[in-house]
Amino acid sequence: MNLNLTLAFQVLFFVIFVWFSKRFVWTPIIGALNERKTRIADGLAAAEQGQAAEQEGRKKAEEVIDEAKQQASEIINKAEKYGSELVEQAKQNAREEEGKILTAARAEIDTEINRARESLRQQVGELAVAGARQILRKEVDASAHAQLLDDLAAKL
């Protein structure tokens, strides 16, 4: 219970310890704590920024997708229209071609008929002359009866 020089030594220890504590313990540890605080704050801010950017990006992407969809539907519409036009055109062409082919075929048929008729006419004359020769048992002068024969052939 005696107060003595111990007290002075304790004061000395206190001074040394507090000085050491301030210089070599408190300053670095609190420095690290503060640095971490700023780091965390920076990280949070960056995260917030990232989130905002992400949202913006998503919005933009949605816009792009919408536009693309619209364009796609436009393209599809156009293609459909073009396709139906093509089909229409093809039908038209086919119809025209058909008409042409038909008329050509008809014309050919007509000429064939005429040719056949022509040859038939000739043959009819010859047949008639030959027939008459048989009937008359004599030569018939074809040229003498040419008028008659021609009339006959025209009747055919």
Which one, 10 or 73, has the nearer CB to another protein?
10
In the set 2, 138, 143, 154, which binds another protein (CB under 8 A)?
A: 2
82 forms part of the interface with another protein (CB under 8 A): no
147 forms part of the interface with another protein (CB under 8 A): no
**CB of 42: closest distance to another protein in angstroms?**
11
Which one, 7 or 135, has the nearer CB to another protein?
7
21 forms part of the interface with another protein (CB under 8 A): yes
Number of chain residues interacting with another protein (CB under 8 A): 32
Nearest-angstrom CA–CA distance, 122 and 150: 9
Q: Which tokens belong to 81?
A: 């229209």
Interface characters, 22-51, with another protein (x: CB under 8 A) = x-xxxxxxxxxx-xx--x------------
Which one, 35 or 56, has the nearer CB to another protein?
35
Contacts with another protein, residue ranges (CB under 8 A) = 1-11, 13-15, 17-18, 20-22, 24-33, 35-36, 39
